[in-house]
A and B are shown apart, each in its own frame.
Chain A
Amino acid sequence: MSSEGNQADKKGGEVVKSSVNIVIAGVGGQGAITTSSLISRAVMRRGINVITSETHGMAQRGGSVEVHVRIGDVHSPQIPIASADYFISMEAVEVLRYAHYLNDLTKVIINKRVIKPPSAISYPSIDEIVNTVKEIAPNIVTVNATEIARKSANAQAVNVVLTGMLAYYLKEIGVYIEDFQSAIKEVFPERIQEKNIKALYSGYNYIKEIKA
């Protein structure tokens, strides 16, 4: 019985030799956990191992949220210090808070959306944030995901736009946009699937155009 149980844990080892670590940071209510759920389901479709871990504060809303997604030949749920391959900052300033996961090779996606906590007196500008992050991780893409979401679907789909952007990069480990499309169908109720698939592709194409 146990050997069966452990196969699921050990899986992945045979399928993917390398591992990918993704940090998703944001503010409660932005949908960081949904994003991790979409990534995990897409990855699972390819028979690759995946573990996620979520950290959220005491209150329901308004606090900082940190989600880790670990793909491939990994054992534990937490990403080690300086070991993120990708970092999605759903709110602009959050990448600063979790800078300890960055290294010089981390690809950083910063959503320009700003959510000011009521206690904040000053708030860094997007330029300041980008320049600061560059000190550790120079590979940065900024995006107004809220606007893209509004144009392609609705403002609520910001997290799916950002998922689409990441989906472009995950081709390199053999996980494709179609896998994410299927994940959307698993996670969202039918009436909002189509809108979210649009949002997914608009994020995907945003990176595709930058790369072109």
Chain B
Amino acid sequence: MLNDLVKEGGEVFLLGNEAIARGAIEAGVDLVSAYPGTPSSEIADSLAKACPLLKGKMEYYMEYSTNEKVAFETAIGASLAGKRAMCTMKHVGLNVASDSLFSFAYVGARGGFVVVSADDPSMHSSQNEQDNRWYGKSANLPVIEPSSVNEAKELAKLSFEISEKFGLPIIFRTYTRLSHSSGIVRLGRIPKKRINKIKWTRRPETDVILPAHARRLKPILQEKMRRIEDYFSRFEYNWIEGGECDVGIVACGLSYRYVKDALENLKASRGFEVPSILKLSSMYPLPKKLIEKFSAGLKKIVVVEEVDPFMELHLRAMLDTPITGKINGYFPMNYEYNVSVVEESLAKVFSIEPSKDYSKFLEKAKKISSRAPPRPPVLCPGCPHTSTFYAIKKAGGEVFPSDIGCYTLGINKPLEAVDTTICMGASAGVSNGLSYFVDGKIVATIGDSTFFHSGMAPLINAVYNNRDYTLVIIDNSTTAMTGHQPHPGTGKTVAGGGKKISIEDVVRGMGVEFVEIVNSYNVKKLIETIKNAIKHRGVSVVISRHPCAILWTRERRKRGVAPTRFYVTDDCNGCLECMNSFTCPAISLNEGVEIDSELCVGCAVCSAICPQKAIKPIRKEVKS
């Protein structure tokens, strides 16, 4: 909770992401930049909320940047000015920022620099399961990974010191199960600090990576990494726990906690000789001296780590001791771990039975859970995206490249107006390629925040290369899916006083000749406009604009405006246009078509599309 985040001392209960935010506060961070993305969002959101509360005490700048690359570069600027900077993003966000990451590794950090990468094993809300420890290896940068919520706070704080000590940017890796766990955190001191300006000193020999400079800087980076490798061998968050046999377990990050639980279960039920443990919270570079000390005398080493066999591959290359892990099939190659998975795998390694027959329980439970009707996420009642997708289909769109946001749910029946989703901004880019070959009306969709993030470059490309397709920018004036963060189109910033960027001005400035703006709830006009856009030869843009239904409802409630709810009259002939072409969680078929007045927010779109005009506002009907 917010007041716990800015408290002085004591023990509090924090979300993993809040703990990381608190670590930055205790480190006296000077600037935080972020593009939201699950499971990272609460780090930036917490720091955005704490920022005004800490004014005059521990001051820092906090901005939501247009994308992760910009966030990363903003943080570089702060670091080069000698200030402490943190940028936060989800794992795929680091792909966007990776161009800057590889170069900045050569330049090196001046003020402490921490990039937080929130990975998503099991892909709870992501398009892939990439393991961002590889970025440490390929960019030659240290990777730190906490094993608990309290450690997340401590290590986030310490990362700034380490970064400054070695002049290296730090990749701080968290993941869903840590970011979205809560635990007891022991608070440290919040430093007192005002923001001050500095005088710029030119250092072109490091800060301008000309080829000649880069050739000189690469061995310097390698030397820094050698020094930090020694440091990690003495690192207080890497430790050895002695065992009773000649098998050792290397436990990485949160997997250490799974190992502890699993071994306790096995010990209690099977009474076997407990192996020694090397707990690691530094993932790269590997602490060679510590590993050599640990492995001395061991007959076998078991590696427990989530996602890729990163540590395992390194250990196989480094040691003669036989290694067991994912590669030889003892641990699963995909998806996140938990106690049951780790315990079953360890039981296999030690040729014993797990404390419970987990597989049997799972099998039995599967039969029971199959009786629960699925509860997939749906577009909310009154969601302006539903209206937009309905209009696109009615207007004659045939090919539907789309993008990342709540609107990806347009993939589902009955809308089925999402045909491709690749990554942020790819709707406009994929449309470029499709338009060369596909015989059919291409109507792509992209959200407002995604458009600013990375939709602009492919759209310019389309205009320049004379492509012919329609891009519908579905502008709900927020970054809805990740928790309603602001973006350039909202003009709102954490500090206040941001400038609002007009999407239509941007698009016209790019040379798009057909640009129309329609209220998403005005579904008839939206259909007409998209029809005209499709007819237009060349790139056409329709901006379908209405605030996110959640924000719209919240804002009206604040103003004391009650929503006009709707009901189905006797004129309904059961054609089911409102359910089979349109859709809304408030509309269901029981005796006849019904609208749940508790859920209805009064967008009136169903009323507009009903061929029988059988959906009426409740208030007006009472009057007549």
Contact = CB atoms under 8 A, between A and B. Distances in A.
Interface of A: 1-9, 11, 27, 36-37, 40-41, 44, 49-55, 57-64, 74-83, 93-94, 96-100, 102-103, 116-124, 128, 132-133, 135-136, 186-187
* Most-contacted residue by chain A among B125, B149, B150 (CB, 10 A): B150
A160 B371 CA distance: 28
Contact of A52 (B182, B264, B372): B182
CB-CB nearest 7 A-B residue pairs: A59-B377, A2-B236, A100-B365, A76-B257, A77-B181, A120-B373, A96-B372
Interface residues of B, number: 66
A28 to B, nearest CB: 8
B254 A53 contact: no
B513 interface: no
B316 interface: no
A133 B372 CA distance: 11
B185 interface: yes
Given A8-B186, A81-B356, A100-B365, 19 more contacts: A4-B186, A9-B150, A36-B182, A51-B181, A53-B177, A54-B180, A54-B182, A59-B378, A62-B375, A78-B258, A79-B339, A80-B265, A80-B339, A82-B358, A83-B356, A93-B373, A96-B368, A116-B373, A187-B1
Contacts of B237: 2
A50 B183 contact: yes
Given A58-B481, A62-B377, A123-B373, A75 B182 contact: no
Contacts of B181: 51-54, 77
A6 B1 contact: no
Contacts of A63: 375-377
Contact of A64 (B124, B184, B358, B375): B375
Nearest to B239: A2
Nearest to A103: B361
A97 B154 contact: no
A87 to B, nearest CB: 12
B506 interface: no
A165 B202 CA distance: 66
A96 B149 contact: no
Contacts of B406: 58-60
A184 to B, nearest CB: 13
A38 B380 CA distance: 28
A99 B356 contact: no
A100 B227 CA distance: 48
A119 B376 contact: yes
Contacts of B148: 9
Nearest to A65: B375
A132 B358 contact: no
B13 A37 contact: yes
A49 B369 contact: no
Contact of A118 (B150, B361, B588): B588
A133 to B, nearest CB: 7
A8 B362 contact: no
Contacts of A40: 13, 182
11 contacts: A8-B150, A8-B183, A51-B183, A58-B406, A75-B256, A76-B254, A79-B339, A80-B265, A82-B365, A124-B372, A187-B1
* Most-contacted residue by chain B among A55, A117, A136, A186 (CB, 10 A): A117
B97 interface: no
B340 interface: yes
A107 B368 CA distance: 17
A119 B587 CA distance: 11
B509 interface: no
Nearest to A53: B181
Contact of A122 (B154, B373, B377): B373
Given A6-B150, A8-B150, A41 B365 contact: no
Contacts of A41: 13
A78 B236 contact: no
A80 B372 contact: no
Contacts, number: 195
Contacts of A123: 373
B186 A136 contact: no
Nearest to B378: A62
Contact of A81 (B124, B186, B236, B358): B358
A165 to B, nearest CB: 22
B338 A80 contact: yes
Nearest to A78: B338
B550 interface: yes
B376 A5 contact: no
B480 interface: yes
A30 to B, nearest CB: 12
Given A5-B154, A61-B380, A80 B371 contact: no
Contacts of A36: 182
Contact of B375 (A7, A100, A117): A117
A141 B463 CA distance: 64
Contacts of A76: 254, 257-258, 260-261, 338-339
Nearest to A47: B11
A129 to B, nearest CB: 8
B372 A9 contact: no
A25 B77 CA distance: 45
A55 B180 CA distance: 8
B374 interface: yes
B343 interface: yes
Interface string B339-353: 110010000000000
Contacts of A51: 149, 181-183
A98 B374 contact: no
B99 to A, nearest CB: 28
Contact of A102 (B365, B372, B375): B365
A208 B158 CA distance: 49
B148 to A, nearest CB: 5
Given A103-B361, A136-B365, A80 B261 contact: yes
B11 A8 contact: yes
Interface string B138-163: 00000000001111011000100000
B302 to A, nearest CB: 17
Contacts of A136: 364-365, 368
A212 to B, nearest CB: 32
B163 to A, nearest CB: 16
A52 B183 CA distance: 7
A59 B570 CA distance: 34
Contacts of A97: 369, 372, 375
Contact of B369 (A2, A59, A100): A100
Contacts of A135: 364, 368
A65 to B, nearest CB: 10
B409 interface: yes
B583 interface: yes
A69 B376 CA distance: 24
Contacts of A49: 184
B617 interface: no
B125 A58 contact: yes
Interface in B227-242: 236-237
Nearest to B363: A100
